Structure 1
Amino acid sequence: MDISNHASKFNQWKDTYNWDTCKTNRKEFGQFIAQFLTSESRVINLNGIYGSGKTEFIRRLYTELAKRNHPVVYIDVWESDFSNNPLAVICSELLEQVEYVFKEKAPNGKAKDRKGAVAKFNDLKSKLGICLKYFDAAAAFTDEPLVLAGTKAVTKIVEATPNLTSKTQLQKFTEEIQKNHIASISAVKDIKNHITYLSELIEIIYELNIPIVILIDELDRCRPNYAVEVLEVIKHFFETKGCTFLVATNTEVLEHSVKSIYGSGFDAKLYLRRFFDRKITLPPIPLVDYLLAKDLDFSKYKNLLLYPFTDNQRGNINFFANLFESNEIELRGIEQILNRFFTSLDYVSARTAVCHLINTVVLIIGLIEQHLDKQENRKNISHASFSIKIQGASIIGSPLKAFVDSMFECVTITNGKKCFAGGVLTTYPEQRVMLRIQSRSYSEVKLDNGTNIGKLISEMINHKDSESCNYWMWEDYQKIIDLSGHIE
């Protein structure tokens, strides 16, 4: 059987979402989890903080599971967040994606089994239809609602029903709802049996592996009510032998969703344990790997001279990662800072064809200071001082702070008689304005790859005096930082 017949998204995802394209080094972890998911039928929570790569991870799991001959279903529940009926959403996705299997011609000698499987599959559709028909009404008569919206729906039914004044009319209405509820409960039991039976037939007829694995993505982005309703649907309708669910969430956010419904004092952790048999925490990745996985593109800025990592812009990645880690900035904050960083470069690049020399070290530090609300009151004449942490592991041949000091001295000025340029000292009879970096010898400072920073600084100084290049001083950075600060 072609893989796409038991994993309908496989051909679409196989080239993009595989372990060879994974820049977070999660191949071994992913293969381990794939084995765990298929060892028995369970409902499992995959927990990961914002930006940790949950979606990319479970799409790669999808490809891995498909290659292992498992029927696999992917549902992005946030796409249906506008819906008021999560059962309808999960049913339609599950039926549509599993139906690909039964469209395949049965192997020799198994045509009769396939015919019976198709009949059972159609019966499953019918049972799900019964539940969908009476879903809201049934919710009012259970100890715990199948969906939170159910009780509200029944209330609306009662309110919209005219002339319920006599006991006989009210009794008939109540009995009708109770009858529908009984039919729904019976259908739920049948659904679970049908899914188990179909999974076994899939294994026998098409020699696929079971359980069927259903991957639920983006639950924590949904409305609180809808997120909880999705979990209720999984528990009541599909928690059965033959199916494994992996639900990807930022579990802390999901707990807040539960509390927003039941109250701040409600034990959300205990509540969520009702739904999940196991919890998997997506391991954090080194910040350097995280930034590399984002494919940050510095090369597109053709009219910008980005210093100091001119020969290898990956130096920015190492430097950024060091600062983010030293200042304990979470992934959401990192995303915001990077967005402001590249929006600033985009703005400058698009405004004019004139060349601009921008120091990425100075810009990112200014943006981090702003993000942490630790902005320094600097001017072009200021000494370099910092309220954020820059005392981290050395990425250069000298301590990190010395490197940062040098970069800030390239964008501030001072008065002096001695001026260094290109390794040559010039003494003037009277004081004159110069870049602060020119007031001292900088020829021995090196980058981690051995590149002499003195040569780079000399290049920058030469551009400062060029009419064809706009050399940025600190107050230029401050303006763009202030502008970008309005973006959250």
Structure 2
Amino acid sequence: MDISNHARKYMEWEPKYNWETCKTNRREFGEFIAHFLTADSRVINLDGIYGSGKTEFIRRLYIELAKRNHPVVYIDIWESDFSTNPLAVICSELIQQIEFILKEKSPNSEIKNENKATETFNQLKAKLGTCLHYATLASLVSGDNSISTEISSVNAAISAIPNLITESKSQKYVETIQKNHVAAVQAMKDIKEYITYISELIEVIYKLNTPIVILIDELDRCRPTYAIETLEVIKHFFETKGCTFLVATNTEVLEHSVQAVYGSTFDAKHYLRRFFDRKVSLPPISTVDYLKAKQLDFSKYTNSGINLHPLITMDIIIEVFADLFEANNIELRGVEQILNRFFTSLDYALGIKENSNTVINTIVLIVGLIEQHLDKPELSERKNNNPLRTNIKTNYSQLSGTIDVMFNCVMTTESKVKYKGHGHYREHAYAQEMLTIESYNFGDIEILGYSRDSITIFTEIIHQYNNPKCNYWLWENYQRVIELSGHIQ
């Protein structure tokens, strides 16, 4: 069987969401979780904070499961947050995937089993239709008619939905609901049995592996009531042999959603244990490894007249960036946003560059972008006449000192003494405007703990600042481009 028949998103996702393109080094973990998910039928909570890469991880897990010959379904439940009936959403996706499989021609020896599978599949649709019909009647009594539209939208998948009652009197609706309640309860039991039986037949007929795996993404972003209803649907309708769920959430946020419904003193942790058999925590990533995997490259700029300082190796730049991200608790999504703005800023500098070289300090730019990301006031308040130090955290003192020095390379001051390095200086009768770094003896200053190259770096910076052919960025240039990049989300 073609993989796309038991994993409909495979052809679309495989080129992008495979382990070779994974920059978070989670392949081994993903392969382990794929084995864990398919060892039995259960409901698993995948816990990860916002921006930790849950969506990218479970899409790669989807590809992994598909390659392991498991029927797999992906549902971004947040996309249906406008809905009032998660049952319609989940059963529609599941029914469509099973239908895709059953449309595949079976071996002649399996015709009998194929007929059984088709018959059971139709019975499954009918039972789901009964439950959806029951839910519709309940919604009509409550005055919420939106669900009727939602259910009609899945008729293509669930063709056996009974005709909806159109009587207008609410008493008749109540009577009808009471009459159908027993049927709905029995239908819920039958649905579980049918799913188990179909999964067994699929395994026999098409040599697929079971359980069927359903990946639920973005639950923690949904309205609190909708998130809870989704968990209830999974538990009551689909928690059965032959079907496994992985529900990706920021579990702490999901707990707050539960408390928003049931009250702040409600034991949300205990409540959620009713729905999940196990909780799996998404492991943290190494920011250094992530940045190395991105293969950051400045050659596009340095080969086109953009001079980047300080002149240190790419490995050191990556270590600096990683330290700043980690020390300030910037999640993966935030790292991506900041890096996008960083390179957009360099692209902008390249676009407006004329004949002269443009001189940009990478450390000042990245620190300013982090200040922006964290809404630090010094970003806008820092001026030549108010040279505020940054409050951005670092994990080691050498980097903190280097940041201060780099800001002194993009700020100006007035001084009678101008240093030239190697102990040489010139004293003027009157105060002269100069880079702040020129106003004191920089010979003994270390950059990232390396004093040997510091004089060479500072000498080159000062030369470029004083070269009329160089477009040397001072702090107001950084402020402006950071402000512009802030409009990019």
State the TM bucket, normalised to the shorter chain: 0.7 to 0.9
d(CA) in 2 for partners of 1:428, 1:4: 76
Contact 1:73 1:214 survives alignment (8 Å): yes
* Secondary structure of 2:433's aligned partner: strand
- In structure 2, the residue matched to 1:375 is 378
Structure 1 position 427, deviation (Å): 3.2
RMSD of Structure 2 on Structure 1 (CA)? 3.5
- In structure 2, the residue matched to 1:56 is 56
Contact 1:384 1:409 survives alignment (8 Å): no
Contact 2:70 2:212 survives alignment (8 Å): yes
Contact 2:31 2:64 survives alignment (8 Å): yes
Structure 1 position 368, deviation (Å): 3.8
Contact 1:42 1:244 survives alignment (8 Å): yes
Q: 1:388 to 1:18 in 2, by over 3 A?
A: closer
Instruction: Extract unaligned runs of 5+ from structure 1.
Output: 140-148, 165-169
Contact 1:138 1:184 survives alignment (8 Å): no
- In structure 2, the residue matched to 1:406 is 405
Q: 1:260 to 1:123 in 2, by over 3 A?
A: same
d(CA) in 2 for partners of 1:426, 1:90: 75
Q: Which amino acid aligns with 1:435?
A: L
d(CA) in 2 for partners of 1:90, 1:276: 17
Structure 1 position 234, deviation (Å): 0.9
Q: 1:299 to 1:56 in 2, by over 3 A?
A: farther
* Secondary structure of 1:105's aligned partner: coil
Q: 1:344 to 1:40 in 2, by over 3 A?
A: same
- In structure 2, the residue matched to 1:318 is 319
Contact 2:464 2:470 survives alignment (8 Å): yes
Sequence identity percentage: 58
TM (norm. structure 2) is 0.82
Contact 1:443 1:452 survives alignment (8 Å): no
Instruction: Extract unaligned runs of 5+ from structure 2.
Output: 149-165
Structure 1 position 282, deviation (Å): 0.3
**Deviation sequence 1:426-454 (CA, Å, 0-9, x none):** 53554543323234244884668999344
d(CA) in 1 for partners of 2:26, 2:416: 55
d(CA) in 2 for partners of 1:98, 1:286: 39
d(CA) in 2 for partners of 1:233, 1:205: 29
Q: 1:478 to 1:19 in 2, by over 3 A?
A: closer
Q: 1:272 to 1:238 in 2, by over 3 A?
A: same
d(CA) in 2 for partners of 1:156, 1:5: 30
- In structure 2, the residue matched to 1:17 is 17
* Secondary structure of 1:44's aligned partner: strand
Structure 1 position 113, deviation (Å): 1.0
**Deviation sequence 1:28-50 (CA, Å, 0-9, x none):** 11111111101111011001101
- In structure 2, the residue matched to 1:143 is none
TM (norm. structure 1) is 0.83
- In structure 2, the residue matched to 1:427 is 426
- In structure 2, the residue matched to 1:452 is 453
The within-5 A match list for 1:431-446 is 432-438=432-438, 439-442=440-443, 445=446
d(CA) in 1 for partners of 2:433, 2:58: 58
- In structure 2, the residue matched to 1:211 is 211
Contact 1:137 1:181 survives alignment (8 Å): no
Q: 1:36 to 1:403 in 2, by over 3 A?
A: same
Q: 1:220 to 1:345 in 2, by over 3 A?
A: farther
Range with bigger deviation, 314-323 or 187-196? 314-323
- In structure 2, the residue matched to 1:67 is 67
Structure 1 position 194, deviation (Å): 0.4
Q: Which amino acid aligns with 1:55?
A: T
Structure 1 position 241, deviation (Å): 0.7
The within-5 A match list for 1:133-212 is 133-137=133-137, 153=144, 170=171, 173-212=173-212
**Deviation sequence 1:81-111 (CA, Å, 0-9, x none):** 2222211111111111222221222124112
* Secondary structure of 2:378's aligned partner: coil
Match of 1:362 among 361, 364, 368: 364
d(CA) in 1 for partners of 2:169, 2:33: 58
Structure 1 position 380, deviation (Å): 2.9
The within-5 A match list for 1:71-110 is 71-110=71-110
Contact 2:137 2:173 survives alignment (8 Å): no
Range with bigger deviation, 250-259 or 293-302? 293-302
Range with bigger deviation, 196-205 or 172-181? 172-181
d(CA) in 2 for partners of 1:162, 1:16: 52
Q: Which amino acid aligns with 1:324?
A: F
Total equivalences in the alignment: 465
d(CA) in 2 for partners of 1:12, 1:152: 40
Q: 1:97 to 1:311 in 2, by over 3 A?
A: farther
d(CA) in 2 for partners of 1:341, 1:179: 64
Contact 1:86 1:229 survives alignment (8 Å): yes
Contact 2:213 2:245 survives alignment (8 Å): yes
Contact 2:410 2:435 survives alignment (8 Å): yes
Q: Which amino acid aligns with 2:49?
A: I
d(CA) in 1 for partners of 2:296, 2:181: 55
* Secondary structure of 1:109's aligned partner: helix
* Secondary structure of 1:73's aligned partner: strand
Structure 1 position 254, deviation (Å): 1.4
**Deviation sequence 1:439-483 (CA, Å, 0-9, x none):** 424488466899934434333333323334321223443455566
Q: 1:86 to 1:162 in 2, by over 3 A?
A: closer
**Deviation sequence 1:337-380 (CA, Å, 0-9, x none):** 55665565566555665754221212333344452646286443
Q: Which amino acid aligns with 1:16?
A: K
d(CA) in 2 for partners of 1:187, 1:367: 56
The within-5 A match list for 1:302-341 is 305=306, 307-308=308-309, 313=314, 315-330=316-331, 334=335, 341=342
- In structure 2, the residue matched to 1:32 is 32
**Deviation sequence 1:264-296 (CA, Å, 0-9, x none):** 222222221111111101011122234456676
- In structure 2, the residue matched to 1:259 is 259
Q: 1:480 to 1:13 in 2, by over 3 A?
A: closer
d(CA) in 1 for partners of 2:369, 2:312: 24
Q: Which amino acid aligns with 2:403?
A: V
d(CA) in 2 for partners of 1:90, 1:462: 65
Range with bigger deviation, 80-89 or 308-317? 308-317
d(CA) in 1 for partners of 2:402, 2:461: 15
* Secondary structure of 2:109's aligned partner: coil
